[in-house]
Chain A
Amino acid sequence: MTIVPIIKRDYIIKLAEQGKRIDGRDFNHYRKIEIETNVVNKAEGSARVKIGNTQVLCGIKMDIGEPFPDTPATGVMSTAAEFVPLASPDFESGPPREDAIELARVVDRGVRESQVIQLEKLCITPGEKVWLVFIDIHILDYDGNLFDAASLAALAALSTTKVPVSRFLKDLNEKDRTSWQKQILDLYTIPGVDEIPFGADEANKNPNPIQDFPLPMTEPPISCTAVKINDFILFDPCFDEEVIADVRLTVATDHNGDIRAMQKGLSGSFSKEEIQKVIKGALDNGKEVRKTLKDVVSS
């Protein structure tokens, strides 16, 4: 384990008392965010996000599988994170540590509970076949704030994901195809069109049931994370700040300015006022980050 020298800790605190941070940022400011999409050919969607020196890669894979019995007409999503030893001298190989599991679950909740993926539109044959969406997060370089980097990477990757209908067409029997034809019409209602025949590509304009189509999505919430060191609240902690932090709070906010998910971490504690402060900062930063994301995925 990396041991943080006490003098480094004291120095970070001393700077904070003067309103400064070790990399010269204001308490509320993020490091430079860079998003690159479609970086993995084999994935249905992918994105690499850099926040300062932190680098996270997210890849989306899709498959066809069975729905859960209680939601027979709903697609299935799952999220996993790998803290590979490439990213930090402290990460070890082997089964995911609890940190990786927490990260995956927090990203998963941010996507699932806000219905970012419209899973109800990912049904092929109710009760039998639905689309499965796998969100896999790969940490490449760890310099703090994995929560924001990972959730942003997941959102950017999902935004570029194409449902691979053409690749899986051979797995669909006659019944599935009929059902899927209906589904695709529900997805893209075209006045006067009530059936889109299979294979007729040229004659029919989009959508075509054998064509890959963008993953149906809604406006996502944006995660922003702050840590508390002594009494100071610092957003987007770098590694040196994160390892000495007492407590951490991640707040996901939506485009209406409402709160959609929260996660407190580490063994310290917050007062209500401090939590309010983090929420306000998350709302402000969330707007900026949302704009960065939109600029990338809409271009």
Chain B
Amino acid sequence: MTNEGRQVVIPGQILGDTPTFKPGRGTFVENKKIYAERLGVLNIQDAFIHIIPLKGRYDPIIGDLVIGIVEEASASHWMVDINAPSPAVLHVHEVPWEIEYADTEKYLNTGDTILAKVLSVDESKRLQITLNDRNLFKLKDGHLIEFEPSVYRRIMGKKYSMIEIIQKYTRCRIKVGKNGRIWIDGDAEGIEKVLQAISKIESEAITFGLTDRIEELLKKDAKDVR
């Protein structure tokens, strides 16, 4: 198998001319030429040239599901680390609890982990997140690991195929944050297998046939899959 469809590109590399092609994500234009702005994999769709990044910090987009770690509680809000270039604000109005002034610590405190959604990103990239949704909550038990945020799409797979396979064979509850964090709950053995699968996906992210290889890896010692 060749790498043809997954060409690695680097910053400053020329990718095409405008207007034949249109500049997409991860590119910039100078003198009608489209260049890559970061390390990534080339992806051309409907004349749009995109770069799918291979490395880099999480870049928050409104509506993203993220896993946050509470840094500190203030009287009216919490500061939450979501692995982005700056911490996010979780305002007391954005949680499902009735909180009296300065009572924030009772609900969430330093070191707590939450499954949240990006509520807003302003021009200077100030971030707000929310817990106001029935699928969002404080995470308890289980294990938390980090992964390269650019690998998110591979971990989920096409139409969630990858994550479903992982859940099926490990019988773990898994929540994947777009910000490069995964929460896993299950028995130690199951969690260990999830970790193996994630690390394989990370190191082989730009290859073909990954879903099959992950299924093989998990199948090997899975005896009682329903």
Q: Which residues of A contact B (CB under 8 A)?
A: 3-11, 14-15, 18, 20, 24
Contacts and interface: CB of A to CB of B under 8 A. Distances in A.
B71 A3 contact: yes
B96 interface: no
A241 to B, nearest CB: 14
B111 A5 contact: yes
A20 B70 CA distance: 27
B188 A18 contact: yes
B113 A7 contact: yes
Interface in B174-225: 183, 188, 192
B54 interface: no
A14 B144 CA distance: 13
B126 interface: no
Given A5-B69, A7-B143, 19 more contacts: A3-B69, A3-B71, A3-B81, A3-B110, A3-B111, A4-B111, A5-B111, A5-B112, A5-B113, A6-B112, A7-B113, A7-B140, A7-B142, A9-B111, A10-B141, A11-B141, A11-B143, A18-B188, A20-B188
B139 interface: yes
B145 to A, nearest CB: 8
Contact of A8 (B71, B81, B143, B192): B143
Interface in B61-115: 69-71, 81, 110-113
A3 B78 CA distance: 14
A8 B144 contact: yes
Of B71, B110, B143, B188, most A-chain CB atoms within 10 Å: B143
Contacts of A10: 141
Of A8, A9, A14, most B-chain CB atoms within 10 Å: A8
Nearest to A6: B111
A9 B71 CA distance: 15
Contacts of B183: 7
Contacts of A14: 188
A18 to B, nearest CB: 6
B81 to A, nearest CB: 7
B115 to A, nearest CB: 12
Contacts of A8: 143-144
Contacts of A11: 141-144
Contact of B192 (A3, A7, A9, A24): A24
Contacts of A9: 111
A237 to B, nearest CB: 18
Interface string B112-140: 11000000000000000000000000011
A20 B191 CA distance: 13
Contact of A5 (B144, B188, B192): B144
B144 A7 contact: yes
A6 B81 CA distance: 14
A7 B141 contact: yes
A273 to B, nearest CB: 28
A189 to B, nearest CB: 58
Of B70, B110, B111, most A-chain CB atoms within 10 Å: B111
What are the 9 tightest A-B residue pairs by CB atom distance, in nearest-first order? A6-B111, A11-B143, A5-B113, A5-B69, A8-B144, A5-B144, A7-B113, A7-B144, A3-B69
A2 to B, nearest CB: 9
B82 to A, nearest CB: 12
Nearest to B112: A6
Contacts of B111: 3-6, 9
Nearest to A11: B143
B112 to A, nearest CB: 6
Contacts of A4: 111
A142 to B, nearest CB: 16
Contacts of A24: 192
Contacts of B69: 3, 5
Contacts of B141: 7, 10-11
Contacts of A20: 188
Nearest to A22: B143
Of A3, A5, A9, most B-chain CB atoms within 10 Å: A5
A10 B142 CA distance: 8
Contacts of A7: 113, 139-144, 183
A9 B183 CA distance: 13
Nearest to B140: A7
